[in-house]
Amino acid sequence: MMGKTHLKIGVLSYCIILTIPLFTVIPYVTTSGISLVQIIIAGIATLMPDADSQHSYINRLNPATGVANKAIDTAENILIKAVTIAFTIGIGLLIIISPGKLIQMLMAMGISSSKSKILIYGIGILLSLLGLIGVKGERILKRIPFVGNIYKSVIKGIKKVATVFRKYALMSIYIGAGIWIIFYNFNKYNDLNLYLIGLIFIGIAIFPHRSFLHSIEGLVALTMAVSYLSNKIGYPQATPAFFIGYFSHLYLADIFTKEGIPLSILPRILKKTGLHTYLRKSKIYMMIYRILDIRLVVPVMSTGSKKGNIIEASYVLALLAILIVSVVRYDVAIRFL
């Protein structure tokens, strides 16, 4: 699902839980009504599973990753514009310098010599002027035989390089943060929980999208980290808010997409480390492995499709309706903390 849809589903799901008496008896969920701070925490949590994706909503909101992505996007756009303008001017000048064959082609089509020259030189001058004043002739360039193929290949190459830069920028930020936390903790606190938090940051960078952060292990690990930090600052209510927000992303949203989510990340780790090759001889191991390797999916939609957008909007409206009914029914108060 789209990032904004995840945010809406996470916030609405948590608000519904805050308003129904059956759930409010759970320790730390709420004390009296809807808490704005806890809603913000749930909203952040529902975006966290996509932290390993370059273009995710949370990485656009994150100052560090957001600035890095914007810088790379700006550089990519400038380079593409420069290449396009250079091609536009270059083609224009080439036409002016060597118009012979083009003029002959037009004459072969029955156009007079004078009109052919006016047309060809006019096109050359027009392209040169468009390039000089900074107008991109992208549509024209793509339609020129041979030149269009070269142009498209160059632009495709620029976009591929930009994608690689985004990937490694994201990895560098998260790995750098993880290493800093680990070393800082080693020198000052030597706290096992902080080591876990550092490893989580490194894991975000290492594991591909829809793997670690989309598994039960990711949910548990990040909730444990938030629980540690929330207890440190004396606000334990942050833990259930985070858990429910994160849970909603996986089991109330992405499970309905065609990609689904993995039941566990362990099978992928076992394969990557090569341990699966040695352990697969055991029948008990293979039985457990097959269970953990199950992908949870109820394929009712595809993200980004027209049908998917309709389903997402309908889902959000249904949750909103449930929340309104619940708020009215139970006369829920709204508070800050």
Find out whether 266 and 217 touch, Cβ atoms under 8 Å. Answer: yes
Residues 228, 324, single domain; the answer is yes
Which residues make Cβ contacts (< 8 Å) with residue 121, sequence separation at least 6?
95, 96, 99
Residue 165, domain member (yes or no): no
Residues 36, 90, single domain; the answer is no
* Residue 244: HSE in the Cβ half-sphere, 13 Å Cα cutoff: 27
**pLDDT number for residue 96:** 82
Residue 147, domain member (yes or no): yes
**pLDDT per residue as tens digits for the range 135-163:** 556 666 677 666 677 778 888 999 999 98
Residues 148, 31, single domain; the answer is no
Segments forming the whole domain that contains residue 301 = 1-46+210-260+297-337
Q: How confident is the model at residue 194 (pLDDT cuts 50, 70, 90)?
A: very high
Helical pair 192-206 and 147-188, crossing angle rounded to 10 deg: 170
Closest CA to 22 of 326, 335, 306, 226: 326
Residues 215, 321, single domain; the answer is yes
Residues 81, 151, single domain; the answer is yes
- Whole-number Å distance between alpha carbons of 63 and 45: 16
Question: Based on the structure, what is the number of domains in the chain?
Answer: 2
Residues 130, 78, single domain; the answer is yes
Closest CA to 257 of 294, 303, 211: 303
Which residues make Cβ contacts (< 8 Å) with residue 169, sequence separation at least 6?
65, 68, 69, 72
Residues 41, 78, single domain; the answer is no
Domain edge (last residue) among 155, 189, 222: 155
Residue 96, domain member (yes or no): yes
**Distances, alpha carbon 167 to alpha carbons 89, 104, 203, 335, in Å:** 33, 50, 14, 40
Residue 265, domain member (yes or no): no
Residues 224, 301, single domain; the answer is yes
Residue 198, domain member (yes or no): no
Find out whether 208 and 256 touch, Cβ atoms under 8 Å. Answer: no
**pLDDT number for residue 43:** 93
Residue 196, domain member (yes or no): no
Return the exposure string of 67-105: e unless at least 16 CB atoms fall within 10 Å of the residue's CB, then b: ebbeebeeebeebbeebbbebbbebbeebeeebeebbee
**pLDDT number for residue 175:** 94
**pLDDT per residue as tens digits for the range 255-302:** 998 888 989 999 988 988 889 988 998 999 999 999 999 999 988 888
Instruction: Read off the pTM.
Output: 0.79
CB atoms within 10 A of CB 248: 26
Q: How far apart are the first and last CA of the chain?
A: 30
333 has pLDDT over 80: no
314 has pLDDT over 80: yes
Strands 334-335 and 34-35: parallel
Q: What is the mean pLDDT of residues 314-329?
A: 88
CB atoms within 10 A of CB 144: 14
**pLDDT per residue as tens digits for the range 92-142:** 787 788 878 777 877 888 888 888 788 778 777 776 776 666 555 666 667
3-class DSSP state for residue 70?
Answer: helix
Residue 186, domain member (yes or no): no
Domain edge (last residue) among 113, 130, 155: 155
CB atoms within 10 A of CB 196: 17
**pLDDT number for residue 147:** 65
**pLDDT per residue as tens digits for the range 29-59:** 555 567 888 899 999 999 999 998 877 888 8
- Whole-number Å distance between alpha carbons of 267 and 286: 10
**pLDDT number for residue 325:** 87
Residues 31, 87, single domain; the answer is no
Q: Which residue has the tokens 């969920």?
A: 29
Residues 138, 233, single domain; the answer is no
Residues 32, 88, single domain; the answer is no
CB atoms within 10 A of CB 151: 21
Q: Where are the alpha helices (DSSP H) in 133-215?
A: 138-143, 147-188, 192-206
3-class DSSP state for residue 137?
Answer: coil
CB atoms within 10 A of CB 309: 16
Residues 324, 215, single domain; the answer is yes
- Whole-number Å distance between alpha carbons of 139 and 124: 16
